[in-house]
Amino acid sequence: MSRRWVLAILGCVLLVASGCANVPKETKPQVIGTADTADTTGDSLDDIQPAEDLSPYDTVRKFVLSSQAATDYKEARLYLADNVAKDWQPSSSVVILRDQFSTLPVDADRQPENPDETIIRLRGRRIGALGSDNAFIPGGGTYEIEISLRRRSGDRQWRIVDPPAEMITTESQFAENYYQLPLYFFAPDSAVRVPDPRYVLAQPREGLPGRIVDTLLQGPSDGLATAVRNPLEKAKLDTNVTVNEDGALEVPLTGVAGESAGARRLMAFQLVMSLDAVATNRIRLLSDGHDLVPGRRDWRITDVPPVHASVSANLPGLALQGSQVVRLDDWEPIAGPAGNGAYDVLSAAQSVDGGRLAVVEDARKRVRLRVGATDDVLSVVDLDAKQMTRPTWRPSYSEDNTSNEVWTVTDRKKVVRVTLSLDNTWQAQQVDDSALQGFGPITALRLSRDGTRAAIVADSRLVVASVVRTSDAVRLRAPRILQPETLTDVVDVDWQAQDALVVATSSSIRPVVRVPVDGFGMESYTTSNLEPPVTAVTGAPGRPVVAANAGGLWYTSDLAEVWRQSSREQSLLSSPFYPG
């Protein structure tokens, strides 16, 4: 079912007119479940009866496949013993398994002597969990739990007597029952929006906007906490989110009366952006019964300025031709020593604003980092190392829009940031990377273009961590391995969007893939024309993905689009990169 039809149904439920306009976003929110799924809440479940004469194995399977939080697990309770069905309440976390799971008996010597009792082992492959913050937490490995059943004396039906303490579901069931969308917060000291992927129950449909607002008011996800700014931190709902008699979706807040006008505007932006997918008309934002933003009662998505991390259309991206830095659009060397061959460049990165360049230079048995204006002489940074990853720039949020911080990893283990000091020299400082201990050697690191996250290749695995800044330190926090059982051969990564990564692997089956920032799902680009192995990749919002192999550079603008190569001889072109 198309997203347009899903929103049309939601519009009917909310009794508001269609015609919502959209500002450009990094990734559109989506219903991973369908909005026409039968609304099985309330009285519609009263007539449902449990399947009869099920084996204990199938009883456990039916229990798992019918567990839905939206119905307070009403159908799942049908497969529980009478004395536990009423009181069973799983924890707020949800274990998500692959669709194929098994139910098997435990060893015979551990089975109860009573023939009307048995113990079944449920076993499956874990893909992750939904945390109490409604964020997906990637994970792998085998999930296994033992479940005891007893046959009822009257009808001889098997019933579970010790249900699991947590909800268990499959990937397909999760996709059917949850609505995926980004909630929005802001990069520190800026109005740059930062998407935070979350999952809320898709049913009942009429309560979806309220559940989205509830989740937003709980703050950023655990993985992003302390890395972003949340103007809604003190806000609470005064009453329920409803569609009022004027047809507007009304969000009544309290607790923000003392906040500044600027903070209130940012609150409004957060709410309108986060509700965009389900509010097809006006959103009325109130604070203690008055306009949240004085002078503006009703909001539409077009009222939100498009302030987000982006790369200027005037910056085509760069690459290496031998040891020279060249443009991606015409393959001409850039102005300055980095383009004319004065440096033996191994890798490079251009700042998001385009004004500065960082290069890693071959210095025989060592390497050195040079930083400076893109078309000028680059200063040598006092940073000793045998190896350095390709540099990556933190964006600037200041009015002059000039980046002054670049990161690299030395000798595959030490994360370093280099900043422009008051005396106009570039100084290296250690990033607190203790959270990465045990993850293995680091071969690539890319800061997101909003500066709040870092994508890392560690021991050939894809890792995402948040970037937390305090007055005296910068640290990487809450690292998570994405697609841990599938992506074990990663060679490079870049930010295709704020909430999506483009990844190069050494695999011949899926050399380039797209992965959401939370790791729920993965999509492969076609392999047509792209001969493995791929050695590097780059991406940016609204730009073609560029991959490098032994034959040069290859481009595609869509997952299914055949890779294409420039007509110009490219055998010496490598290491493509967009600003960031």
Q: What's the pLDDT tens digit per position in 394-448? A: 998 876 678 999 999 999 999 999 999 999 999 999 999 999 999 999 999 999 9
The single residue listed with the structure tokens 């798992």 is 64
Under a CB-based contact definition with an 8 Å cutoff, are residues 517 and 526 in contact? Answer: no
pLDDT of residue 216: 98
In a domain, 35, yes or no: no
Domain extent, residue 16, equals 3-23+186-303
In a domain, 309, yes or no: no
Three-class secondary structure of residue 534 per DSSP:
coil
Structure tokens that stand for 402 in this block: 């000039």
Q: What's the pLDDT tens digit per position in 316-368? A: 999 999 999 999 999 999 999 999 999 999 999 999 999 999 999 999 899 99
Q: Are residues 238 and 110 in the same domain?
A: no
- Give the residue from 251, 240, 263, 261 showing the smallest Cα distance to 287: 251
pLDDT of residue 10: 41
The phi and psi torsions of 83 (rounded to 5 degrees) equal -75, -10
Q: What's the pLDDT tens digit per position in 451-496? A: 999 999 999 999 999 999 998 899 999 999 999 999 999 999 999 9
Q: What does pTM read for this prediction?
A: 0.90
The beta strand positions in 214-365, using DSSP E, are 236-237, 242-243, 249-254, 283-287, 290-291, 298-299, 318-321, 324-327, 345-350, 356-363
Q: Are residues 353 and 224 in the same domain?
A: no
List the CATH number of the domain containing 437.
Answer: 2.120.10.30
Q: What's the pLDDT tens digit per position in 95-125? A: 999 999 999 999 999 999 999 999 999 999 9
Q: Are residues 412 and 518 in the same domain?
A: yes
Instruction: Determine what percent of the chain is predicted with pLDDT higher than 90.
Output: 83
pLDDT of residue 309: 72
- Tally of domains in the chain: 3
3-state DSSP helix/strand/coil % of the chain, to nearest 5: 15, 35, 50
Q: Are residues 166 and 217 in the same domain?
A: no
Three-class secondary structure of residue 270 per DSSP:
helix
- pLDDT grade, residue 46 (50/70/90)? low
- Alpha carbons within 13 A on the beta-carbon side of 290: 8
- pLDDT grade, residue 68 (50/70/90)? confident
pLDDT of residue 568: 61
**In one letter, which amino acid is 384?**
D
Q: What's the pLDDT tens digit per position in 516-570? A: 999 999 999 999 999 999 999 999 999 999 999 998 999 999 999 999 997 666 6
Q: Are residues 99 and 194 in the same domain?
A: no
Within 8 A by CB and 6+ apart from 61, the residues are 103
Under a CB-based contact definition with an 8 Å cutoff, are residues 361 and 379 in contact? Answer: no
Q: Are residues 393 and 475 in the same domain?
A: yes
Q: Are residues 288 and 369 in the same domain?
A: no
Give yes or no for residue 580 having a pLDDT over 70. Answer: yes
Q: Are residues 423 and 356 in the same domain?
A: yes
What integer best gives the mean pLDDT of the chain? 91
Q: Are residues 450 and 560 in the same domain?
A: yes
CA–CA–CA angle 254, 260, 263 (5° rounding): 80
pLDDT of residue 569: 65
